[in-house]
Amino acid sequence: MGRGRQKAKHTKIARELKAYSPDVNYAALERELGHTDEGDQYVDKWADEYADEDEDELENA
């Protein structure tokens, strides 16, 4: 007897979730993910902070 109610409840919840479409603020999402339209997206911003490992090996050899 309990299985019918349980199945009906799960079906109701599944339908609600299927029809649910939240409003998305894409501008805020882009800011949060750090998206920029600049051309320097492939530039390593940490390159000047640390020495390369290859340079350290050459200096110690």
pLDDT at 8 over 90: yes
Interval 23-50: pLDDT, tens: 888 888 888 888 665 666 677 777 777 6
Q: Which domain holds residue 36?
A: 2-60
pLDDT at residue 21, rounded to an integer: 83
Q: Where are the alpha helices (DSSP H) in 1-61?
A: 2-19, 26-33, 53-60
* Residue 16 burial (10 A CB sphere; 0-12, 13-18, 19+): exposed
Number of domains composing the chain: 1
**What's the farthest any 2 CA atoms get from each other in the chain?**
80
In sign, the C-alpha dihedral spanning 21, 26, 30, 32 is negative
Q: What's the mean per-residue pLDDT of the chain? A: 78
pTM: 0.35
Please name which of 24, 6, 8 lies closest in space to residue 16, comparing C-alpha atoms: 8
